[in-house]
Amino acid sequence: MDAQSRGRADEIDPADQWVLNPQTGNYELRLDQSAPQSSASSNQAAGARRSRRSAEAADAPEAANAVPGPGTATRRRTAAPAPDVPPQRSRRAGNASGRVPQQQAGRRKRKQAASRKKKALLWTGGTLALVMVTTVGAGYLYYEHLNGNITSVSDDNAGTGGFSKDRAINILLIGTDKRTGAGNGSYGDKNSPGHADTTLLLHVSKDRTNATAVSIPRDLITDIPDCPTTQEDGSEKLIPGTEGTRFNESLGQSGRTPSCTMRTVRELTGITMDHFMVADFNAVKTLSSAVGGVPICLDKDIKDDKSKLDLPAGEHTLEGEEALAFVRTRHAVGFGGDLDRIKIQQQFLSSLMRKLKSNDTLTSPTKLFKLAEAGTEALTVDTRIDDIGKLRDLGLELGKFDMKNLTFATVPVLDNPAEKVKATVVLDTPKSDALFSMIKNDVSLTDVEQKKKAAKDKQAALLKGPRAEAADVRVDVFNGGGPTGSAQKTLDWLQNTEGVLKSTNKGNAPADVTRTTLEYAPNQADQARKLADLMGLPAAALKPGTEDAQGLEAMTLTLGPDFKGAGVPITGPAKAPVDAVQADKKMCAK
């Protein structure tokens, strides 16, 4: 008997059709009846189920085919048919009339509601990675169907080889201006190969307590390195690099693939990516519709003929074409440049992520199925995560941190001084180096790592206290992995610029170090503070010795790979950049 014949159609929940298999950790489709049946009725029900599954398989649509970019080796599996949500499996039998006593039914509904929410939370796991990993526990047919949706491109060994659960995770999220898909040709430039129009570096901390999403301006002038790229026939082609060009040309231009963008980001930031995910115009439209719209607010009316956005000031819920128009607009906000559009996009993404993690989404089987379809169809991933199981594992890691601990920031830049008409930007090097250093060293921009707070306070206390005069500072300088000649250049700077005359170049250190350190005896603490002030050393670089080190004649400064040059501060900012925005805060476009 199906649910409706039992008179309980209103209680049907598609989530209850999937049950957890403790051996695999996945949810599987369960159609068997738990209530006793006669042999005849069992055979009849089994036949009906087989007929229904056959009909569903015949009617299910095939997965959409990806449109590979020029020179791009893409892969899309042959999709198995996607089943409709199956009917409700039988619950434990009630009384003779088929009804459950009211008190018992009330308890059961509460348990079922809690169970559904728990299942939904397990399903979504990692909705944060732009929904690539929603619905992690489907039955075999649906699992294969979602696998068939996935389009993948080789990372050409430009990344780490894949994320790991025991270290921080870095994902490159790339939004392209490719016009493939229904209706997107009307936006103009319909033959665009798909450049890196919107790029975010998503860093998730090693302990999964916090995350940082850094936007890289498309008009940033940078160097694009040589890029070995896998072609459609499996051969490899070396695409020559370009110096002093826009960042967005790292994708699409000259047949470059996302692996070229990964290499460019590594050259730019010093951070190696684990994976990439690429979204086109359709991704914004389908994902925003799958969650039932994304809430945004405007401080003023916006009318942009180029993006086709026309909205009055106030709060709105956008999906589909309107959502795409919102993330594309720039002429009607701020100064009309790409940096203002980045703020719009960060607002949209933070709101989308809040919607993804809301109870309205997590407890709605309908939305979860839509998200699974939209996410796997709209995004292109690297071949190391081209399987639902792999995406599930990644998603579970990305979904562990609290939204309030996700911070959006933009790479610090300045107007290009080489241009009269300002159209491009260049790095604001001191600020950008500090931001990249924070990410490489897994430093939170949200100050949420409570368990590290005591250690940080203790370390910071080393910088509190009196300072010696520069002439009284005695230090030996070693090169422990810094650029060639660093020790001598530092010595010259200390003596000739800062008046630290009692300093000596000791050449190469006995062994390389991972970062710059300053070792000193307890009675040299005032000298250490003075030298830290002069060189911009962070508290973490200070290594106080024990009492038996009192007899040391000079402190030991060992320059590591984080050393950028004499007089260039090594320390990163104590707080997030002034324009950083936390994802759980509502932002309004201006």
Q: Which of 297, 293, 281 is nearest to 344 (CA)?
A: 297
Q: How confident is the model over 410-426, as a mean pLDDT?
A: 91
For the chain, percent of residues with pLDDT exceeding 70: 66
pLDDT score, position 7? 39
Q: Are 541 and 441 in contact (CB under 8 A)?
A: no
Instruction: State yes or no: pLDDT of 85 exceeds 80.
Output: no
Rounded mean pLDDT, 381-389: 92
Q: What is the pLDDT of residue 129?
A: 44
The residue-averaged pLDDT of 169-186 equals 72
Q: What is the pLDDT of residue 163?
A: 95
The distance from CA 8 to its chain's CA centroid, rounded to whole angstroms, is 42
Residue 585's pLDDT is 62
Stretch among 124-138, 160-174, 490-504, 572-586 having the lowest mean pLDDT: 124-138
What confidence category does residue 55 fall into, taking pLDDT thresholds of 50, 70 and 90?
A: very low
Q: How does residue 48 score in pLDDT terms, banded at 50, 70 and 90? A: very low
For CA atoms 364, 368, 374, 380, the dihedral sign is: positive
Provide DSSP, 112-145.
Answer: HHHHHHHHHHHHHS-TTTTTTT------HHHHHH
Of 384, 331, 332, 374, give the one whose Cα is nearest residue 352. 374
Ranges 349-363, 401-415, 468-482: which has the least confidence: 349-363
Residue 10: predicted pLDDT:
43
Query: What value does the mean pLDDT of the chain take?
Result: 75
Rounded to 10 degrees, the C-alpha dihedral 419/422/426/432 comes to 150
Round to whole Å and give the CA distance between 523 and 464: 14
* pLDDT exceeds 60 at position 156: yes
> Average pLDDT of 331-350?
77
The answer to whether 408 and 201 have CB atoms below 8 angstroms apart is no
Which domains, ranges and CATH numbers included, belong to the chain? 4-141 (no CATH), 458-559 (3.30.70)
Q: In this structure, are residues 285 and 323 in contact, taking their beta carbons and an 8 Å threshold?
A: yes
87 has a pLDDT exceeding 50: no
More confident residue, 565 or 222: 222
**What is the identity of the amino acid at 42?**
S
The pLDDT value recorded for residue 584 is 61
The pLDDT tens digits for 539-558 are 888 888 876 655 668 999 99
- Split at pLDDT 50, 70, 90, the class of 460 is low
| DSSP code at position 76 | E
Q: How far apart are CA 575 and CA 446, in angstroms?
A: 8
Nearest CA to 410 out of 258, 580, 532, 527 is that of 580
Q: What is the pLDDT of residue 247?
A: 96
Residue whose C-alpha is closest to residue 377's, from 305, 299, 285, 307 = 285
Q: Would you say residue 97 has pLDDT above 60?
A: no
Please tell me which residue, 350 or 171, carries the higher pLDDT value.
171
The 8-class DSSP code of residue 220 comes to B
Among candidates 136, 151, 134, 142, which has minimal Cα distance to 57? Answer: 142
CB-based contact 356:131 (threshold 8 Å): yes
- The tens digit of pLDDT for each residue in 253-306 reads 898 999 999 999 999 999 999 999 998 888 888 888 888 899 988 888 888 877
So what's the pLDDT on residue 49?
A: 46
Q: What is the pTM of this model?
A: 0.59
Confidence of residue 370 (pLDDT cuts 50, 70, 90): confident
pLDDT-wise least confident of 80-89, 437-446, 493-502, 533-542: 80-89
Q: Which two tokens stand for residue 56?
A: 């569903």
Top mean-pLDDT range of 47-51, 167-171, 293-297, 311-315: 167-171
Task: Tell me the C-alpha distance between 362 and 127, whole Å.
Answer: 9
pLDDT level of residue 563 (50, 70, 90 thresholds): confident
* Cα distance between residue 268 and residue 440, in whole Å: 13
pLDDT confidence band for 325 (50 / 70 / 90): confident
When pLDDT is cut at 50, 70 and 90, the band that residue 334 belongs to is: low
List, for residues 401-415, the tens digit of each pLDDT value.
888 888 889 999 999
3-state secondary structure of 368: helix
